[in-house]
Structure 1
Amino acid sequence: MKPAAFAYHRPESVKEALALLDEFGDDAKLLAGGQSLVPMLNMRLTHFDNLIDISRIDELKGIDLIGDEVRIAAGTPHMWVGMDDEVADSVPLLTAATPLIGHFQIRTRGTLGGSIAHADPAAEYAAVAVALDARIEAVSSRGSRQIPATEFFTGLWETALEPGEILTAVRFPVRTGRSGFAIEEFARRHGDFAIAGAAIAVQLDNDDRVARCGIGLLGLGSTPLRGSAAERAVAGRPVAEISAEEVGRLAIDGLDDIPSDLQGSAAYRAKVGAVMVARAWQSAITEASNA
């Protein structure tokens, strides 16, 4: 199918893009990598009178280590993220997540900011952002602000971005010390959206107790979720006393919005999700213990 007719705009700066958003309002949509938006337009699942292509704005690309954070500009392609040495050293969970995103062509064209802004509940980068307590930078003609990832995703394909705002970057904290990271997901075929999955970041103290734990869940709700019950349950405990199966069960218990669709029932997703959490936990703990 072909998309309905629209006007195409290609600004050369964020300032110009913001001016276009202010001019066209609800009749405009930002186009980054286009890996989610273009198929929806082609299938006529959505339509906008104006597309604002921000894919060639240089200030929206790049990866920088700033203090104890890695700042990744929104227009940075997945492939750049997955191949960057600084990311691999400082935010290895992103490096591990990148190969799970779609196929090579999608990772080449798709962008980190586009993935976060699209807010698909099965998106890998969104789950990583939640697990690591990342911060999302947003700018509008009214000013700029930073939004915690745990507050950014508000519903299915919905975010806390306000009208006229552009997601400009995501800031991921650098975890040091005895830290371990892992992401696990289950999909029917490689490149498909995950039926369920988990991204885990864990840090141990010198007594082998859990000093910090973040669990991001994907495919298990209308938004990327935190495995909050499991995080609370493992905090401060000796890691030898914690079984992977316990963490998996606790992460899923209490979720009341698990979807049921052609991919599987809510009960099936919950069972798969618990297994994915358990596997990710075991891998992250092994890495942290050997750090």
Structure 2
Amino acid sequence: MYNFEFVKPGTIAEAVSALAQEEAQALGGGQTLLPTMKARLAQTETLVSLNGIGEMVGIRHEGGQVCIGGATTHGAVAADGTYPGLASLAGRIGDPAVRNRGTIGGSLANNDPSACYPAAALASGAVIVTNAREIAADDYFQGMFETALDEGEIITEVRFPVPEVSNYQKFVQPASRFALVGVFVAKFADGVRVAVTGASSDGVFRWTEAEAALSADFSAAALDGLAVPGGDMIADLHGTAEYRAHLVKVLTGRAVAAAA
């Protein structure tokens, strides 16, 4: 690990100011950034920790939404039962050490193509709130490790509309505990949203054909005849593109059956 300065601001305003300095990097739970720095694959002059900012920690419920502070840990999300599908997802991220350190804001800012939270945010139609603006999930995710965040912008809160029913199915990659493929299904009064993580080389995406079929008939049988194109799927030593495409359909059916 290269030498760096460590800053721990107490407010969002102080964090924004610290991140405005040259070569400054925000630190959430550090579950991805710190191992990368230890391996000397990343370098920063200043590391700005967001963990000491009280206004970014906690969960509140208002207007049919679950509003989660950006520095709230996976463990805290898992313990909140207001949105069962989201709580179940959070409870299966990594292991207890990861869940008690990693944060929802850090995960969404990193936007790993196999991370779980992006599927929940996209399927829920969540709103990502930053120090500067509000970004709809449909506009936020822009490809593998790419988001709509500007340089120095901080995720302060994530607002999840709570659906009528939901479920997350995750085919776990055993070594990393990330999703080889993960599918989040959320049924709202005006329709169904289906988001897939771990499968596509473009990162998290919505399976719109399944959404249309399930909005008309919320049952696993509604997926009969549908197929996910394998052209954009990830292919590696863990699974071919065709295998991942197959898993998307299988896990979507399981999620619908479990939610229903």
Return the TM-score normalized by structure 1. Answer: 0.84
Q: Which residue of 2 aligns with 1:289?
A: none
User: How far apart are 1:11 and its partner, in Å?
Assistant: 1.1
Say which one has the larger Rg.
1
User: How far apart are 1:265 and its partner, in Å?
Assistant: 1.3
C-alpha root-mean-square deviation of aligned residues, in Å? 1.8
User: How far apart are 1:261 and its partner, in Å?
Assistant: 1.3
From 137, 141, 145, the equivalent of 2:129 is 137
User: What stretches of structure 2 of length at least 5 have no aligned partner?
Assistant: none
The AA in structure 1 aligned to 2:221 is: S
Q: Which residue of 2 aligns with 1:169?
A: 157
**Residues 123 and 244 from structure 1, CA distance in 2 versus in 1: closer, same or farther, beyond 3 angstroms?**
farther
Asked whether 1:273 is paired with 2:248, we answer: yes
Q: Distance in 2 between matches of 1:159 and 1:47?
A: 20
Q: Which residue of 1 aligns with 2:3?
A: 5
User: How far apart are 1:239 and its partner, in Å?
Assistant: 4.1
3-state DSSP of counterpart to 2:52:
coil
Q: Which residue of 2 aligns with 1:112?
A: 104
Query: What is the percent sequence identity of the aligned residues?
Result: 34
1:229-275 superposed Cα distances (whole Å, 9 cap, x missing partner): 2112333x2446x60542xx63x524642111121111111112221
From 55, 61, 66, the equivalent of 2:51 is 55
From 15, 20, 23, the equivalent of 1:22 is 20
Asked whether 1:101 is paired with 2:81, we answer: no
**TM superposition outliers: structure 1 runs of 4+ over 4 Å:** none
CA contact (8 A) 1:32 1:75 kept: yes
3-state DSSP of counterpart to 2:20:
helix
1:179-228 superposed Cα distances (whole Å, 9 cap, x missing partner): 22111111242862111120111246xxxxxx510111011113211111
Return the TM-score normalized by structure 2. Answer: 0.93
Aligned residues: 259
3-state DSSP of counterpart to 2:71:
coil
Q: Distance in 2 between matches of 1:72 and 1:203?
A: 20
The AA in structure 2 aligned to 1:124 is: C
Q: Distance in 2 between matches of 1:93 and 1:238?
A: 20
**Residues 239 and 23 from structure 1, CA distance in 2 versus in 1: closer, same or farther, beyond 3 angstroms?**
closer
From 124, 134, 158, the equivalent of 1:146 is 134
The AA in structure 1 aligned to 2:110 is: H
Q: Distance in 2 between matches of 1:47 and 1:124?
A: 26
**Residues 161 and 239 from structure 1, CA distance in 2 versus in 1: closer, same or farther, beyond 3 angstroms?**
closer
Q: Distance in 1 between matches of 2:57 and 2:206?
A: 28
Say which structure is richer in helix.
1
From 30, 36, 41, the equivalent of 1:45 is 41
From 174, 196, 210, the equivalent of 1:217 is 196
